[in-house]
Amino acid sequence: MKIIHTADLHIDSKMQSNLPKEKASQRKKEILLTFENMVEFASDNNVEIIMIAGDMFDTSKISVATKHRISNIFKAHNDIKFVYLAGNHDEKNIISEFEQSLDNLYVFGDNWTTFNFGGIDITGARIEGKSQSVYDSLLLDKDKFNIVVLHGQISKYNLKSENLINLTKLKNKNIDYLALGHIHSYESDKLDERGVYAYSGCLEGRGFDECGDKGFILLDVKNDTFKYDFIRFAKRNLNEVEVDITGRADWFDIENVVMKSVQDIDKDDLIKVTLVGKYTLELSKQVQHLQEKLNAKFYYAKVKDESVMKVDQGDLMHDVSLKGEFIRQVLASDLSDKEKEDIILVGIKALGGEDIE
């Protein structure tokens, strides 16, 4: 039997924290479309079950159009069984709406519930906020193939926090595959001698804290054995590139280095370039121009300048010009290093007759 493990879809996410309004609207639609495409993939590849380990939606405010679309996707694939566990972003009343109208949706509650599909037991519960004793009541048939679905941050140690999934207490519970949600990147490892645990990650990255390949996990269970593979499926990836500008002769040189650093990234992706290192007073920065150049090449680009000015105070001691005196006065002030840098940059431009943005 083939089973898909997915989680953290965050459908109807506003997407406006990183993107301009038009791109945010498009990415919002793409997240829903990628989910629909995944279901089509399941149908085309004889997948019988799709497990969603929480956070299908981003907030409780879901548009009517999105609700109808999700419902129609489920109904159009009535041969696929959707097994759902609510996450920390999900509202129970929204899931209940779907549960009441769909025959192929199976929803876990606050207590351990097991659904059996052709000899495979899938067990889950919403354990957020519960004490560690919740694990004591998890009882699985050792002669069955057991999948357990949970949503939360794992702890590999015997910690007492109620907001962690305690892997130690899940060992030797006859679990073959522990399907997890909450972490937005793919991760897997052994649970014990019998089983493994895995985070599927999200289907689409939404911000630059969610860089890298995104997709879902495809399990193939045959008798008492199984294999699982991470399937890259996102329409677009998010990438973060760090470029050290120390020692670069001029801004044209820096732009060339940046463009070379991003040359292997797909043009349909989103990128964030972070400039680091030290630059001299003589360098005329053109960060906005660089960002516009990157946006012409990629779906969306963002440039963050974290480079710092290198000021040789020894040389300034002998500089009797107006510029030298101005810089000495700023450096001697009680301002923060960032404030000093910003003021010096504006002052140098003004003294040189340049336009100040």
Q: Can you give the pLDDT at residue 199?
A: 97
Q: For residues 101 and 287, which has the higher predicted lDDT (pLDDT)?
A: 287
Q: Decide if 84 contacts 52 (C-beta within 8 A).
A: yes
b/e sequence 57-75, b meaning 16+ C-beta within 10 Å: bbeeebeeeeeebbeebbe
pLDDT band at 44 (very low <50, low <70, confident <90, very high): very high
Domains of the chain: 2-232 (3.60.21.10), 238-351 (no CATH)
| Residue 9, burial from CB neighbour count under 10 angstroms (0-12, 13-18, 19+) | buried
Give the predicted TM-score (pTM) of the model. Answer: 0.86
Which residue is associated with the tokens 């006859």?
Answer: 174
Q: Is the pLDDT of residue 70 over 80?
A: yes
Query: pLDDT tens-digit profile of 194-207?
Result: 999 999 999 999 99
Which range has the worst mean pLDDT, 70-84, 121-135, 246-260? 121-135
Q: Is the pLDDT of residue 161 over 80?
A: no
CA triple 228-240-346, angle to 5 deg: 165
Q: Which DSSP letter does residue 8 get?
A: -
* H or E segment to which residue 88 belongs: none
Q: Can you give the pLDDT at residue 90?
A: 65
Phi, psi values for residue 232, rounded to 5°: -70, 125
Q: Decide if 294 contacts 303 (C-beta within 8 A).
A: yes
